[in-house]
């Protein structure tokens, strides 16, 4: 059985757990911001500033998790590339 070559795409090289965590933080944070500022209606969270602030913190955390994981994947790709002997 032959091994598949590693992908050069950093999104495909990212670990699944940080990628999933970052996406969940982004989505949950965005929903909370929308509810907190009153765009999404029908919840006890609607028009409550606390949820908008907490949602914004979740969005920022999601971006940080995704960025750190993406940078790690890019470093792994760079480490796998052969060096020029010149």
Are the C-beta atoms of 35 and 46 separated by less than 8 Å? Answer: yes
Residue 19: pLDDT above 80?
yes
Q: Is residue 4 part of a domain?
A: no
Tokens 């960025």 appear where?
67
Residue 84 has what pLDDT?
A: 65
Residue 83 lies in a domain: no
Domain count within the chain: 1
Taking the complete model, does pTM exceed 0.75, yes or no?
A: yes
Quote the domain boundaries for residue 70. Answer: 13-78
DSSP H or E segment with residue 67: helix 49-80
At 79, list the tokens.
Answer: 């480490």
In a domain, 7, yes or no: no
pLDDT in tens, 23-68: 999 999 999 999 999 998 888 888 999 999 999 999 999 999 999 9
CB 22 within 8 A of CB 66: yes
In a domain, 84, yes or no: no
Residue 56 neighbours by CB under 8 Å, 6+ apart: 29, 33
């Amino acid at each position: 059985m032959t091994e598949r070559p590693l992908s050069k795409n950093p999104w495909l090289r990212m670990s699944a757990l940080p990628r999933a965590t970052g996406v969940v933080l982004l989505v949950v944070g965005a929903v909370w911001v929308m509810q907190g500022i009153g765009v999404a209606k029908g919840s006890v969270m609607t028009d409550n500033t606390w949820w908008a602030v907490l949602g914004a913190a979740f969005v920022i955390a999601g971006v940080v998790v995704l960025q750190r994981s993406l940078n790690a994947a890019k470093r792994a790709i760079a480490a796998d590339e052969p060096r020029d002997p010149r």
